[in-house]
Structure 1
Amino acid sequence: MTGPAALLARLRPRRRQPAPDDGFNRRLIAPMVLGSVLNPINSSMIAVALVPVGAAFGAPPAETAWLVTGLYLATAIGQPVIGRLVDTHGPRRLYLAGTALVGLAGLLGALAPSLGLLIAARVLLGLGTSAAYPAAMHLTRSEAERTGRSSPTGVLTVLAVANQTVAVVGPTLGGLLIGAGGWRTVFAVNVPLSLACLALGAARLPVTARRPDPADGGERPGRAERLDHLGIALFAVLLLALMLFLMKPGPARWYLPVLALLAAVAFALRERRARAPFIDLRALAGNRPLIATYLRQVLGYTAIYAFLYGYTQWLEEGRGLSAATAGLVLLPLSLTALAAAGASGRSPGVRGKLLVGSACQIAACAALLLVHANSPGALLIGVGVLAGVSQGLIGLGTQTALYHQADPATIASAAGLLRTFMYLGAMAASAANAAFFPHGATTAGLHQLALFMLGGAALLFLLTVPDRSLGRLGTPPRQRK
């Protein structure tokens, strides 16, 4: 176009294209964080309530232990299942339903007249608290797509630090609640927490349209998606048998690993044939970096939980410290974990976090071999500091890796599986502690546990070193080589 028309076109003000919103919706952070900490706070508070609960119902430790195990089992199974529902129906519905269930479970626990109902309340708590973390990861991914930010490091760091902080202060909070109103307050506190989540979630979480049913090719979006009920049931049997065996391994329970193996085979056959599988094993098999992240999660958290359980028990029994003094010795571990996650969270890189974290885990396990009943306090604290650095970096590193490696359409179910592998690590650690401390936490048993942890930490390091794909995570495309 030439002449006067072209001149007028040049002089006419051009309509600006709206710039993409590059700010994460901060209104989402409060419900995301508050909802996601419901699980760790209920996992940790119960530790100080087991003795008074046992006294109230005349139950031995073998029975009150189900208060811990019930929540672990429900969460390990519930996280990926509810995560799948979050991917399908959006985070709002599942977040509100899950946090409402937390309130009902807290009320049931506060009023429970028997240990059986109390265990049922813990199972319901496990299921209810399974919704918020997958919902938070789904929201984080949705906001990243909306704002154009591929690496929301700040939000991922806030989630990691908040969960670690609550896990640390949980026993202290539980002790204060029990001192103020008895052990039932550990359950009752979930009622106001649930109400706060419901209010924040209803006011701030976005209403999202349900995804079309993939089994129908997306042609009938109004139809409810078919759930792979058989696949979910087989997955639950697999996890239940495996975790029950890890809780108390022994020749007399040979049938549990056999049942787990049979369920695994049946699950694999089912998922390969299902039109809309619960876990798409073909897609997962093609995503080797994500499989490696799950392996790192179970290896890392096996050593993390083995250290927390075993070292704490040894400080009290092998070193002869009081519970309060042992807590003070472990306080630098907690503070270091939070500091490491908070400081490294500013960097979007993943490989460096995992390499340094696994190296510090190796150093912490090796340092345990130097610990004896008459070791100076500086050594006892120094071992905890090394373990704290590894805990903070590994936890944040695996969460960030999963965020970038998982299919955005299934980010919530992938995040749920990440929590499942964490609890598998916790169960493996519990079994290791029982094996190496059969008659109490002795120094010899601690050294054997340290060698077990050292093997897992070394595998974690060796799994991370050659994985060059980690170096590209969280960096802009133009910076990738």
Structure 2
Amino acid sequence: MSASQPKSRVGLTVLALSLGTSLNPLNSSMIAVALVVLRGDFGLDVGTVTWVVTSFYLASAAGQPLMGRLADRFGPRRLFMLGMVIVALSCALAPLATNFLLVCLARALMAIGTATAFPSAVVMVRALSAVAKVSSTRPLSRIQMANTVGAALGPVVGGLLISVAGWQWLFLINVPLALISLLGVKFFAPADPPREQGSLGSLLKASDLPGIAAFTLTLVLLIMGLLDALPGYRGWLLGLAPLAAALFAWRELAVQRPFLDLRLLSRNRPLLLIYLAFLVFNGVYYVGFFGLPQLLEQSAGYPSNVVGLLMLPLAAISVVATPLAARAIDRFGVRSMLITGVLVLLLGVALLWLLTVSYAPPLVLLLTAALGLPFAAVNIAASQGMYASTPAKDSGVAAGILQTCRYIGAIAATVMIGVFYAPGVNQQQWSQLVLAIAGLAVLALVITLFWRPGRAETRSKL
């Protein structure tokens, strides 16, 4: 796209990208109010039903860095459109699933499709900001706001869909959204610059497939071990995960064009701390996000559509707070916003303990509003810190790894929920769960306090 083209095309491109990137967080959160319904429809226990969440996060965690690397090397526009096609097809077929395994497989395929969106959008941000002659903060904050709003609106949208039409519509709603996003990017996004050339075989050979495989294997072994996916083999899975990680590290240090440049990453302390803080933050946040709806449905007895409405303040606060957080970053910096967000998270966790006393709707509304503030602040601050701390050529894979940190944190949250809710979903188990995540919130605060902006971030005035 040349500089002479109207800025309206840039705005339409950002809108299409925002819609596409919102599908991943939207689908990761809509499912929160469907767990009880799925348990009833398929006759599942608490531990088993969480696989509909875990399958999505597992595929996303492994897929995001890979999609980011592919966007960096082969072009973000074509990868984004391919992902939207995958989303539309998988979601059109998912309602035909006759058992829970097929539902989980459909969720995994949908996750792979949506995993293309955020890394591709981040790669395109530099070109879009140059055309619009604005700081990259503006288009990036709009895309991140769509992610935040998508995740926040998920329980509301999911609750309404389930109460009116059934869980199948959690898939079907994605079909028109993916197609609209695809068409918007096709007609308004800038063409991909010249990237890799050559035969498919040579491109695959240069893509470090062994490194990608070792990275994916490490995640699969670790997550399946944490979830005790193969009873009786947890020790083996957790024991093999470090070996796979060592194999991955050896491979990446041995090749000239690694999937993930570990040497560069080891020298980038600000980026490493951003990733770690974001992972722990999401572990805390998603315990509340997924654990609270189950508590309200099974212990308090609220129907799913009412639970969706009770989660509405989270969406409303996130919508309002995200643009305000973006402006605050421009004025006060990323570090101040990160610290503020984690402090508010710690306060929100403390307030969650009040549910051991009462399920009164005004109290629940207050608590969901309290969860919306840190979600908006930390999401936008972590994205800005990651973007500014990363070389332009690695923007896609860096964005993918940031999203992987989100999913690993969310998977850890589902593991904790499964463990603490195993004896029963009640106020006593909730109080123990809240105490556990309070400790993690303190850890997130400590990591954030150690973080300092790097030189790249200073140049970007973040």
Q: TM-score range by the shorter chain?
A: 0.7 to 0.9
Give CA-to-partner distance per residue, 1:292-351, whole Å, 9 cap, x none.
Answer: 110011011011101222333334455565555544443323322332212122232211
1:43 positional shift: 2.2
Aligned to 2:203: 224
Residue 80 and residue 108 in structure 1: after superposition, are their counterparts in 2 closer, same or farther (change >3 A)?
Answer: same
Q: How far did residue 202 of structure 1 move?
A: 1.5
Q: Are residues 1:452 and 2:419 paired?
A: no
Q: Partners in 1 of 2:6 and 2:177 — Cα distance?
A: 32
Relative contact order (C-alpha < 8 Å, sep 6+): which is higher? 2
C-alpha change, 1:306 and 1:57, in structure 2 (3 Å) is closer
Q: CA RMSD in A?
A: 3.2
Counterpart residue identity of residue 337, structure 1? S
Q: Secondary structure at the match of 1:37?
A: helix
* Corresponding position of 2:276: 295
Give 1:141's aligned residue: 126
Between the aligned partners of 1:167 and 1:418, the Cα distance in structure 2 is: 16
Contact 2:322 2:380 (C-alpha < 8 Å) held by counterparts: yes
Question: Which among 383, 405, 430 is matched to residue 421 of structure 1?
Answer: 405
Asked if 1:94 is matched to 2:117, the reply is no
Q: Answer whether contact 1:317 1:440 (CA < 8 A) is retained.
A: no
> Could you tell me which of 329, 335, 340 is aligned with 1:351?
335
Query: Helix, strand or coil for the counterpart of 2:357?
Result: coil
Give the alignment partner of residue 391 of structure 2, picking from 399, 407, 411. Answer: 407
Contact 1:95/1:131, CA 8 A, preserved across alignment: yes
Deviates more, 1:289-298 or 1:367-376: 367-376
Gapped regions of structure 2 (runs ≥ 5): none
Seen in structure 2, the aligned counterparts of structure 1 residues 95 and 147 have a Cα distance that, compared at 3 Å, is: same
Matches within 5 A, 1:30-429: 30-49=15-34, 64-145=49-130, 149=134, 151-178=135-162, 181-211=165-195, 224=203, 226-248=206-228, 253-317=234-298, 321=302, 323-347=304-328, 348=330, 349-374=333-358, 379-429=363-413
Task: Tell me the percent identity.
Answer: 33
- What is the CA-CA distance between 1:49 and the residue it aligns to? 4.7
Shift of 1:97: 1.0
- Residue identity opposite 1:292 in structure 2: L
Moved more, 276-285 or 25-34: 25-34
Higher-Rg structure is 1
- Whole-angstrom CA distance in 1 between matches of 2:188 and 2:75: 14
TM-score, structure 2 normalization: 0.87
Equivalent residue of 1:415, what SS? helix
Matched residues, number: 454
- Assess, with a 3 A threshold, how the Cα gap between structure 1 residues 472 and 115 changes in structure 2: closer, same or farther: closer
Shift of residue 87, structure 1, vs aligned partner: 0.2
The worse-fitting range, judged by mean Cα deviation, of 234-243 and 178-187 is 178-187
Cα distance in 2 for partners of 1:377, 1:114 equals: 35
Q: Is the 8 A contact 2:152 2:314 kept in 1?
A: no
Q: Which runs of 5+ in 1 are unaligned?
A: 1-17
358-367 or 152-161, which deviates more? 152-161
Cα distance in structure 1, aligned partners of 2:95 and 2:364: 39
What residue identity is the alignment partner of 1:301?
N
Task: Give the 3 Å change call, closer, same or farther, for CA 427–188 of structure 1 in structure 2.
Answer: same
Q: For residue 138 of structure 1, what is the amino acid of its counterpart? A: V
Write the distance in 1 (CA, Å) between the matches of 2:305 and 2:38. 21
Instruction: Name the CA shift for 1:288/1:146 in 2 (closer, same or farther; >3 Å).
Output: farther
